[in-house]
Structure 1
């Protein structure tokens, strides 16, 4: 930790601020999520540190609650994506044969359709709730994780220590979780950061298009949509959540890059 680069420190700082704000949103938000407390688009003041939004709600409170919703959905969808995609990808690489072909062709079929169009189609015929959003986003993104984990596991599966485990009579499950998964963690951890960023952008895009988080709940993409008309009048209410999305994405990327570099160097040191 004493050799952590300055860029990673910046990333860790912003990630910590956003995640702590999401965890303690009910404590630190000065007003309720949907509470109307002033006039439309009031300027910054002592009562409203970021002003008010398009219907008079405190923008700082909306940003805090919106960060909680955005980060929760993105984190849950990323976890679902990695659990599903990694297990299926490692299984396909280790077992091979018709199992690998069936899973791989199924993933190719899903990936042939752009993820946003697929999600919009599914959500247009289903009730748009937070659990549905998490499941749809997580399962769609698990195809990317499947491709990565399968590619990494295919290279590892032919290593001598994996062959030695097979000769010892170890089962497929033991080989996947004790031989392959620990050696595939570095690229998977780095990819997890990128997938989390994608999830933040994905849920924000869905909300901006009207098929994401539904009012009166707040999320950053929805706040942009609610206040986009103010940009014409020089009101920056829509730019604040856009700035939050950008800084969170950059910060997570900086941390993921540092973790990848750190785990790779540690692995290289152990191998040496």
Structure 2
């Protein structure tokens, strides 16, 4: 009986998600014009749902001070108060409003993850494209250095570096961006190596194009599709890494609201059957799934496959 109820709930949630994706896709098609409308019209319902979820997260992050009923670090009541009209999701282990912390967590966790991913891509893609274009000893030195860094498990390496250099937000961003840039380097180098042997690249060299102009004008536009798709996947990995480090106590530090640390701080409630600690975990999982839905669609379009 319980299994049937669980399956029914899953079916209801899936149908609601697909319905929301269908409505959002239809709205985007009506608003968009020309080729953009044609692109969104062919998007699957999963991609529509993913874009809707991402948009909601962005709006919550941007308008967090307007949405949240209390200040991010304000103690508003006793510890672990139940859900009520004043505290929609109760209070945490220090008496702070959980709904407020959840809203501000979208700004902090997602914002820091996006900044880290952007830095990792800037560093990794630049060096990867440079290594493939120049070749020779530069390619060998950078590739062997990346191989050494990738041989160390990323989570253990992150814990080690954060223990040595501290756990400030700047250090967290720099450490994770440096580690993740190795993955971006491998992809950018692999894609660029297939491009630099093309005839139009040789023609650009004969025209006297400079190195960085050659990369920016000829190589990067042709490598953009897989790099954009990888950006979405890499964002998910960075997002989960930051949440995991915060859960372990070496990520985003209190009193800053963060979904990973919120799970750790309120985990004791699970013992009493309270699902409140699962809400930030669910927020992490939902965004990860949504981004993957959109990335899958982008990879499908970039592959040139047709149904």
Tell me the TM-score range normalised by the shorter chain: over 0.9
Q: 1:167 aligns with which of 206, 218, 222?
A: 206
Q: TM-score, normalised by structure 2?
A: 0.84
Query: Within 1, Cα distance between the matches of 2:303 and 2:58?
Result: 26
Aligned to 1:236, the other structure's residue is in SS state: coil
Pairing 1:108–2:147 present: yes
Whether the 8 Å contact between 1:189 and 1:260 is mirrored in structure 2 is no
Alignment length (residue pairs): 267
Deviation for aligned residue 1:67: 1.3
Task: Kindly indicate whether the alpha-carbon contact (under 8 Å) linking 1:224 and 1:239 is maintained by their aligned counterparts in 2.
Answer: yes
Deviation at residue 264 of structure 1 after TM alignment: 4.4
* Counterpart position of 1:198: 237
- Higher RCO structure, 1 or 2 (CA under 8 Å, sep 6+): 1
2:50 matched to which residue of 1?
11
**3-state SS in 1 of match to 2:278:** helix
Equivalent residue for 1:225, pick from 239, 264, 281: 264
* 8 A Cα contact 1:94 1:153, kept in partner: yes
1:182 and 2:221 matched: yes
- Unaligned stretches of 5+ residues in structure 2: 1-39
Structure 2 residue corresponding to 1:134, chosen from 161, 173, 176: 173
1:229-271 CA deviation, whole Å, 9 max, x = no partner? Answer: 1111111121001100000001011112223333444xx99xx
Distance in 2, Cα, partners of 1:133 & 1:20: 25
CA–CA distance in structure 1, aligned partners of residues 256 and 116 of structure 2: 18
Which residue, 86, 93, 101 being the options, matches 1:54?
A: 93
Give the 4+ runs in structure 1 shifted more than 3 A.
262-265
Q: CA offset at residue 162 of structure 1?
A: 1.1
Unaligned ranges ≥5, structure 1: none
Instruction: Give secondary structure in 1 for the equivalent of 2:167.
Output: coil
Q: Displacement of 1:87 after TM fit?
A: 0.4
Matches of 1:3 and 1:147, distance apart in 2: 32
Query: Shift in Å at residue 167 of structure 1?
Result: 2.1
- Paired residue for 1:243, among 263, 282, 297? 282
TM-score, normalised to structure 1's length? 0.94
Output the CA distance in 2 between the equivalents of 1:63 and 1:95: 47
| Structure-1 residue corresponding to 2:6 | none
CA displacement at 1:54 relative to structure 2: 1.9
Q: Is the 8 A contact 2:82 2:91 kept in 1?
A: yes
Match of 1:75 in 2: 114
